Each structure stands twice: as structure tokens, then as C-alpha cells.
Structure 1
Amino acid sequence: MRIGLLLAESRGGIGQHVASLVPRYVDAGHEVVVCAPRGTAAHFDFGAASVVEQAIGLRGCDVIHAHGYKAGMSALRDRSHLRPLVVTWHNAVLMSGPRGLLMRLGQRVVARGADLTLGASSDLVELARSLGARQARLAPVAAPAVPEVRTPSAETREALGIGDAPLVIAVGRLAPQKDYPTLLSVAAEVQRTNPDVVFAVAGYGPLQDSLQARIDTEGLPVRLLGQRGDVADLMGAADVFLLTSHWEARALVVQEAMQVGLPVVATAVGGIPELVGDSALLAFPGDVAGLADSVRRVLAEPTVASALRTEGLQLAAGWPDEDAVAKNLLDIYAGLVATGA
């Protein structure tokens, strides 16, 4: 097959996912054409794929796989030539106001225009169906490779200057979706009973200054570490991983934490509950007291922490890897081509 992969601007998980598919498709004997903005194409290694900037460059492909709503809209503009069309929904629309309304209208158009909609989490699949998708099914993005912890825990803690203090780690862009204001409130609450606790956040984004201002004003035990290349080491040195997001599909950082045996406390949003099962402690989004109590429980009860580590590692061992995901998608493409969808 000649496979067209279409994506919009990306510097994160969507681009990484597409880049992981290309060599596996090529190794299976297929020709791959990637359509991506110039900046995205420069950021990722698409290997042996041909790379184009405009969707018209995908004409002649046997199947088109767009990643995200914007990419799906681009494909639909040339619908008569770009089909069968598969669109993967990786994210929910959380924005309000006119722009949010416009994006939701775009979701509806893409849902009804695609031959097949794939959702990274079950809530996205149900949403696509409610918006009129012809076919919709779950197709999780591959679990990341098991992170390699390179630095001993004691050395990482020494570099942070925290010694034996309890360490709670969070990882992600400092953006509204992650709800870091709730994380700061959780830190303040946990500090009441655990005065030596340290919360560390690896990541950078538009909320950096406002978060730091609140940390300084309230004297919170939170450190904004900025963009880090040693996330696995930080996780290996931590006692708890905390996710406070308003929404996630199958958060890669949660998967990485569980793969290194780090107990997870998270909000029960999007695809998180189906991802972690009973292997993490969950609370409602914005529930400061519930999240704080869960963090305290992991820190205070070694048997709970040990059970979460063990269950998390066992669950993570069964997640589909990049090879399995690529094979599943190739089977999907072959079925669409065979039926002339």
C-alpha cells in the first residue's frame, strides 16, 4: 500500500506517534508519505517517508490516516481524492467561547466525513459516535518504551538538595489543561501534615510566571524545574507521581511512571481510569482534598505504595507496544482498502 499520514503542527505525542509508525510501515513493505507543516517535519524524524507540506501531495495514496481534528479537516478539503480516510482523535476540545464552539463544529464535520474514526480513549470514541461518526473504535496509542533510569535515586535527590524528604513529581507542559493551580493547592494541603514534602514539576509553558508568583507568595513547597531531559531519573527518585489534569487520553507520563514502578495519584478524567484500573489512586478533577489525601496515603502507608508499584508494573507489562499498534493499524487499512470504503 501507499499510505498517507497527515498531521497538523505538533511537537509532542502526536508527532512522536506518527514518527514511530513510519519505519514499521516501511519495514512491512509499504510506501509512506507524510504531510506535515515545515516546523513539525523538522522536529521529528520521519525516516524513509516522503514528506510534503500540502495535503494535495497525498493524492494517489491507497489510504489516508489523519491525526487530530485539524488534520482531518485538511483531508476533507480534498475528500474526493483523499480516501479512504481514517482520523484518529487524540485530544478533547476543552476550550470555551467562540473558538471552542468552532472547534466543536469541526469535530462534527470530521466525525461525519471520515470513513473510520479511531479514539485514543473510550470517551473520545463515544463522542465521535454521538457526533455522527460512520464507524468509531478504540485504538490506543502505543505505550512508550520503558524509561531508563540512569542516575541512582540518592544522586538525583542530592542534586535537588532534598535529602530524604518525600518527593512528589509531576511532568507536563505548564498549560491550563494540566490544572497546576490545583497541584499547588494539593501541595499546600499536604504540607500541613508533611512539612518537609517537596513537589517538583518538570515542564515549561505559558503559566510559568503565574505559577511561580503564587509559589513565592504563599511559600509553597513546589519547585518548577523547567524542561528536563532526565524525567526517568526524577521518577526513579520520587515517592509519588501526581497528575491533576482536567482531561487526558492515555497520558504518556502516567504510563512512564507506572513502568518505573512509581505510585500514581491522578484525576479520573478521559482515558485515565481505563488506563490505570486499580493500579492508581484516583480523585475527581479539582478535588484538592481527595488528591491530597491520596498523596498522604501513599507517603504514610508502605503497603499501599508497594501494592501500587507491583500492580502498576504488572499492568504496564500488558500494554500494546509500537510494533503491536502499527500492525493493528495496517490491518485496519487493509480492511478499508479491500472493502473500497
Structure 2
Amino acid sequence: MADQGTRVALVLGTSAGGVGRHVAMLAGGLVRGGHRVVVAGPPSTERAFGFAALGARFVPVPISDRPRPLDDLRAVLALRALRGAHAVHAHGLRAGALAAIALAGTGTGLVVTLHNAATAGGAIGAVYGLLERIVARGADRVLVVSPDLGERMARLGAGRVEAAVVPAPPLPPSGRDPEDVRRELGTGDRVIFLTVARLAQQKGLETLLDVAKALRGPGGDAGPVPGPAPTGPVRGGVTGEPVPEAVFLVAGEGPLRGELQGRIDRENLPVRLLGNRADVGDLLGVARALVVPSRWEGQPLTVQEALRAGTAVVATAVGGIPAMVGEAGLLVPYGDIAAMRDAVARVLADDGLAEELAGAAARRGRELPGEPEALEAVLTVYSGLS
């Protein structure tokens, strides 16, 4: 491992969620381990995550979420000051590419963790492709959150590609009674399916609305499932019986809120947009399953949180989700609305299946790596840098 007292620089771009929390976890752990840590990123990330309060030195660098030539030039110039660090560890494609340009030829070891896939097309997709090539050829180590990302970076010429360890921080227990949570939500005795996601294109929330529509009865609430009966055993009753009423809760905010709410209202869907919530642990405690309809995910923190809470998972089999979930959930191909509908319907109608998946989720959650494993993993990577 890297010697204590060595300087490690962590670099990130604009973040309000998982990437920032991961960098904060690494910064705090490295400082506690006796390492001198510098965090470089937009001032908004310091306000959101408080790196300086964790003992790191924060350096403002204008790394935005999209190309801005003047800011990118300023970022490259600022990142050159990190040469001489034992390791520079950049998080995200843009931060990684700018760090690779800044440190080219300096001999400073560069590690880049890719937390997301570049899914855009057109001109933006071409820019992302260029950034991927810069990272593949400029980083000493590339850490990836899913096997498909690793295969892509290897094809682009990355010399050393390894799996990243990105654990979710523990959810603090609130002590609230589940019945109190249900009363506050106003869900009555309906079965709750929870989605925790930014209201954005990547999250596939139009599929969630399609599923809610398919499970909605003629009166607007969830009722008998239309179309073919759910496949698999139905331990909770006799096949053909009306399934319980369901409500789909979505915790999160984002640019698609207006569009999603408009469709919910027009079609009278049993879906409620809750906005950002600080009580995700409480919501998981009353949900029968976490539903993840995403186009792509790496190592989603919400899936880890659900597994640790012993909440079943119904998700698309994309990115890093299959390896993370294992047998603790029902996985379906992205875009297969019928398969997602049937998976949700099985969990809704079958109490025994829901209990079986919940038990498997709790067991899988206990197996997931935590902060000590993540710190050990990055220190091992840093120690291998020349």
C-alpha cells in the first residue's frame, strides 16, 4: 500500500450525488489513515460535500458536466499543479480526460474511475468517445463500475483495467414506525413499489409509468393484471385472483418532472413523485420492492441500500446490476415492458416470492463491500503506480 503521509489528489467534476459522496468517503478515510489529501473540483462540490471539513485541502477547479472551452483550459492549467503527487485519482469521464491532458509527460501516476457509461449519441456522443480514448491512453489505471465499461476501455487501448469498489454509505436508522411512515405517505393498505432516481432520461422512468398503467384497474387504481398471467409460482393465492392494489412512489428530482407528472395526471396512473427525500431508509422499509427501470447503471447506491435493508429488487439487467443483485431480485432486459410488468406483478401477487426475495436481499446486502474494502482497494491501486 502507499506509504502513510503521501499526497493523494482526488479530482471530480460537477456532482450532487453518488460520485461526490464516494469521493468524500475516500477523502475522509485517507485523511484518517494519515495521508495528505487534496480534492480538486468545482466550488459547488465543496459546498455540497464539505471536503475541507473532512481534513482535505480543497482546490477549486472549473470542471463542468459538458464541454466549455475556456473553463476546460483553466481546469487543465489548474490540474497541472497536482504533478508530483503520489497518485492523482480522477472520478468521471470529463475529470479523467482533463487530468490526463494536464498530467501528460509529468510522470505523475493517474487513476481514473468511470462511474457512468457515455450513452448519448450524435455530436455529444462523438465528444464522449474522444474523452474515452484520452482516458484509455492517458491513465495508468482505469477503474470501472461494470464489466461492459471495462470491456469498452480495454478495446480503446487501456493498459490496466480493474473493477472499482463503490459502496453505498450506511443509511442511518430513523427509529420511525413503518405504520407512521405509511400514514405520512397516505398509501393506506396498498402495496408500495419504490423507485429512487433522478428524473432524467437514463433512468428509464417511462417504462415505470408503462408498468403502472398495465397494473392499474379500470377505476384508476391497481387491479387485475391485464394480459398473460404472471409466470412462476404464485404462493400468495390462486392464479387468476385479483392482485392487491399497488402504488408506485418515485423519490428524486430532475428535468423530466413536468413531463412525467403530466402523463401521470392525464392517464390517472397510480404513481406519485415525492421529490428528493432524506428518508430513503424509511421508504425502503415499507416498500415491497425497489424498481429500477434504468437504461444503464454502474453500481447504483440505491440498489445497495435496498439489499442492505432486505428489500427485494426488480431491475433491468444492465451495467453492474446483475453482478450486484445476484439471486436477490428479478432482472429483465431493458426496454422489455412486458417482462418488467410481469416481474412486478409476480412480486405484487405472490407474498411467498416477495418474502423469499427479501431474505435473499438481506443476505446479499451483508456480502457487499463497505468503506474499509473500498479504501483498501484504492490504496492497493495507488501502491502499484510507478
- When the two structures are superposed, what TM-score results if normalisation uses the length of structure 2? 0.85
Mapped to 1, the partners of 2:270 and 2:318 lie a distance apart of 26
| Aligned residue number for residue 311 of structure 2 | 262
Match of 2:81 among 39, 57, 78: 57
CA distance in 2 between partners of 1:16 and 1:57 (Å)? 24
Q: Could you list the runs of 5+ residues in structure 2 that have no partner in the other structure?
A: 1-5, 61-77, 218-223, 225-242
C-alpha separation in 2, matches of 1:195 and 1:219? 18
Shift of 1:149: 4.8
Structural RMSD (CA): 1.4
Amino acid at match of 2:43: R
Distance in 1 (alpha carbons) for counterparts of 2:184 and 2:56:
42
> How much has 1:40 moved relative to structure 2?
1.2
Matched, 1:30 2:40: no
Larger Rg: 2
| 1:159 counterpart = 2:159 | no
Which residue of structure 2 aligns with residue 48 of structure 1? 55
Q: Distance in 1 between matches of 2:107 and 2:300?
A: 30
Aligned to 1:191, the other structure's residue is in SS state coil
- Deviation of 1:283 after TM superposition, in Å, equals 0.7
Q: CA deviation at 1:55?
A: 1.2
1:162 and 1:65 map into 2 onto residues whose CA distance is 45
CA deviations 1:171-201 (Å, max 9, x no partner) are: 1110000011110000011224247321110
Residues 331/184 of structure 1: CA separation in 2 closer, same or farther (3 Å cut): same
- Does residue 118 (structure 1) correspond to residue 125 (structure 2)? The answer is no
Which one is further off, 57-66 or 108-117? Answer: 57-66
Tell me, yes or no, if the aligned pair for 1:64 and 1:82 is still in contact at 8 Å: no
Instruction: Kindly state the Cα deviation for residue 82 of structure 1 after the two structures are TM-superposed.
Output: 6.3
Alignment of 1:310-321 (within 5 A): 310-321=359-370
Corresponding residue of 2:68: none
State the distance in 1 between where 2:210 and 2:130 align.
35
Measured in 2, the distance between the counterparts of 1:305 and 1:299 equals 8
Q: Distance in 1 between matches of 2:26 and 2:373?
A: 10
- Counterparts of 1:58-73 in structure 2, within 5 Å, are 58-73=82-97
Q: 1:82 & 1:244 partners in 2: Cα distance?
A: 43
Residue 214 of structure 1 is aligned with which of 255, 259, 263? 263
Deviation of 1:56 (Å): 2.8
What secondary structure, in the 3-state scheme, does the structure 2 residue paired with 1:92 have?
A: coil
The alpha carbon displacement at 1:230 in A equals 1.2
* Aligned equivalent of 2:299, options 247, 250, 255: 250
Asked whether 1:169 is paired with 2:206, we answer no
Where do residues 153-302 of structure 1 align in structure 2 (5 Å cutoff)? 153-192=178-217, 193=224, 194=243, 196-302=245-351
Paired letter, 1:103: Y
For residue 17 of structure 1, what is the aligned residue in structure 2?
22
Shift of 1:162: 1.6
Give 1:60 deviation, angstroms. 2.3
Q: CA deviation at 1:299?
A: 1.6
1:54-133 matches, within 5 Å, as 54-78=78-102, 79-81=104-106, 83-133=108-158
Aligned equivalents of 1:59 and 1:150: distance in 2? 48
Instruction: List structure 1 runs of 4+ shifted beyond 4 angstroms.
Output: none
After TM superposition, give the deviation of residue 263 of structure 1 in Å.
1.1
Residue 11 (structure 2) aligned to one of 3, 6, 21: 6
Residue number in structure 1 paired with 2:70: none
Measured in 2, the distance between the counterparts of 1:82 and 1:96 equals: 34
Aligned positions, number = 337
CA 1:169–1:279: 2 relative to 1, 3 Å: same
Gaps of 5+ in 1: none
